Amino acid sequence: MSNTQFEISTLGTPSIKSPLQLSTVRGDNIFNFIKEGDKLVHDLSLENYQQCLHKAEDPACLEKAGPRQYIYFEPKKTTAAIVTCGGLCPGINNVIRGVVMALHHFYGVKRILGVPYGYEGLNPEMGHGFHELTPEKVKDIHQFGGTMLGSSRGGQDVGVMVDTLVANDIQMLFAIGGDGTLKGANALGEEIKKRGLDIAIVGIPKTIDNDIDVIDKSFGFETSFDIASPIIRDAHNEAAGAYNGISIVKLMGRDSGFIAASAALAMPVVNFVLVPELQFELCGKTGFLEVLGNRLQEKHHAVIVVAEGAGQHLFTKEDVVKDASGNVQHEDIGVFLKNEIKGYFKDKFPVTIKYIDPSYIVRSAAANSSDSVFCSGLAYMAVHGAMAGKTQFVIGRVNNKFVYLPIASVTQKRKKIDLESEFWFSVLQSTGQPFSM
């Protein structure tokens, strides 16, 4: 990627001195303001460095996130809004709380609105209205899963939503959501730009699947496999408690198998991990069912963790059905595997199969300690960027540093497991399953 692909849009030149009492010099033991020229190299590999030297060009760099010495918006005259869209994910309430606290206590923004039920809340015809958000109202919400604002899938008319922002004198919108939400936020930004309005659009990437491109991880991901770990442990107990016992645990992962793979590493009692990236076959001498049979004959139990989007190539689909967010609705691979395994071993030897689907329990949980810390950082850095007049950007961590990225740079494709990566090799070493089936 080139530097222009990571260039952040701004509403104008920041000219208002920040109310934050920070420093501009090193050595005084006070955190320093971030300068606009502070950049971080995107690709830290030696190969990339050598390629840049060969081409005599600078490496692609990312804009460092953080508070600026001068801001664009006058805090006392600023109204901010927060919207949460798409499926639930651990940590949404933490992010909402962090944004409200940062706006109110760091910058003195007093009018903060919560948009109910996703982008529906920006369509007056839906009649949802707004919620006034204050530190007192959000101080305890981090203890609970879900979203205090409610959510929805599907888009609304972009022009209508911008009209609503204008009508309510909203200067910045924080959109917490995944791929579809971020694309919607970018569309809002384009319409705002077309109209020449001073409204900042900020994306905070939310997806339990960890499939947002470029960034290291999305919030809620660590909690997801943390919650899944004891479920897998208990599934192992069920499998080991029966002769030729099999436990199948289905976890979320529509297009990427990061949760399933990470959960298997966190609870190393898993024997097979099936993910969307792996085009495994059921039958044949090297097929999954044959390999499973070999495992049962040797150990007399097996634990299978499968991502919801795995094995979709095994289904015959006449029509592609999509949900309100534009995501392809997958067939139930968990039930399919249960039936296929049952049928395959029917005339071979008896098996006991337990099928467990904890997906909605996992995604509705409150954030764990690690994600809670991460969510606060994302919220604070998002607020700093918005107050500086940056727009159509997302906040994320790349190479373990908080950076600002153009929304368009993270929505071009979904992040997937590289089957040649050290990460997937670790999964194979932990489970003992073959490279291909």
Position 283, amino acid: C
Residue with tokens 């384009």, as numbered in its chain: 190
How far is residue 398's CA from residue 104's CA, in Å, rounded to a whole number? Answer: 27
Cβ contact 274:303 at 8 Å: no
| Angle in degrees, CA 193, 197, 198, rounded to 5 | 110
Q: Is 216 a catalytic residue?
A: no
Q: In what order do the strands lie in the sheet with 131-132?
A: 39-41, 61-64, 401-406, 393-398, 200-205, 172-177, 79-84, 111-115, 131-132
Cβ contact 138:96 at 8 Å: yes
How far is residue 250's CA from residue 255's CA, in Å, rounded to a whole number? Answer: 14
Structure tokens at 2: 């080139």
Cα torsion 44, 46, 49, 51: sign: negative
Element (H, E) at 260: helix 258-266
Which one of the listed residues 179, 198, 209, 323 is annotated catalytic?
Answer: 209
Residue positions counted in the chain: 437
The helix/strand/coil state of 233 is helix
Cβ contact 245:238 at 8 Å: yes
171-190 burial: b if 16+ Cβ within 10 Å, else e? bbbbbbbbbbbbbbbbbbbe
How far is residue 328's CA from residue 208's CA, in Å, rounded to a whole number? Answer: 17
Nearest 5°: phi and psi at 401? -125, 140
What amino acid positions are annotated as catalytic residues? Answer: 209
